[in-house]
Chain A
Amino acid sequence: GQNIDQPTEMTATEGAIVQINCTYQTSGFNGLFWYQQHAGEAPTFLSYNVLDGLEEKGRFSSFLSRSKGYSYLLLKELQMKDSASYLCAVRGIAVTGGGNKLTFGTGTQLKVEL
């Protein structure tokens, strides 16, 4: 099975940088995803890591260390609209009946303040 841990809440200042950590223990690993979810809306895809290292996409970067079961999402130049829940999700190994499944962490609620 999968066990994914993230901090429940974080607060940061507009214009600053924030790092959201995610640790996981899995019986099989086939990629780690970060999603952003605003209240009452569906999650939107932010990033994907399957190999160790840093993936950068504009203001957002994501890092993965498979040996440590660890990832982080880095948000730079924070804006008020970045206030949302950030979900770490791990994809397992393909199983019969439908392919790889994503297991989500509980999400980190980020609040960006002036």
Chain B
Amino acid sequence: GAVVSQHPSRVICKSGTSVKIECRSLDFQATTMFWYRQFPKQSLMLMATSNEGSKATYEQGVEKDKFLINHASLTLSTLTVTSAHPEDSSFYICSARSVNSGANVLTFGAGSRLTVL
């Protein structure tokens, strides 16, 4: 089946630094990828829709200058958390649409746990 690879799985950084998270679709092309954030014991909140070759579409309340998204190819989207602060500590998950059981479903990466000190 479709596989989405996400890297790094865990990252710890100092406040004020930037962190880049990569999301790759393996063996399939993804013109659209989605970035979610999940706080402990809460559900996934959509941050933005990443579109290959064009600008990302951000959800209301998500700062586009803080969360930079680049979808440079059909298999790679990156999320850069700029000038990270402790409140940005969270579980970030990317996903891409693939076909499963005849339906278009989201396949998720394994997630990246960001801890900002």
Contacts and interface: CB of A to CB of B under 8 A. Distances in A.
B103 A41 contact: no
Nearest to A49: B103
A104 B110 CA distance: 17
Interface in B35-59: 36, 41-46, 49-51, 54, 57
Given A87-B44, A104-B44, A107-B43, A44 B108 contact: yes
Interface stretch (B14-22, B80-88, B93-101): B93-101
A43 B108 contact: yes
Interface string A72-114: 0000000000000001000000000111111111110100000
A87 B110 contact: no
B43 A87 contact: yes
Contacts, number: 61
B24 interface: no
Given A31-B103, A48-B103, A42 B46 contact: no
Question: Interface range on chain B: under 10, 10 to 19, 20 to 34, or 35 or more?
Answer: 20 to 34
Q: Which of B45, B49, B100, B105 has the most CB of A within 10 A?
A: B105
Nearest to A46: B105
B103 A42 contact: no
13 contacts: A31-B103, A40-B91, A40-B111, A42-B108, A43-B93, A43-B108, A50-B103, A97-B51, A98-B57, A99-B49, A101-B46, A101-B49, A106-B43
Interface of B: 6, 32, 34, 36, 41-46, 49-51, 54, 57, 91, 93, 97, 100-101, 103-111, 113
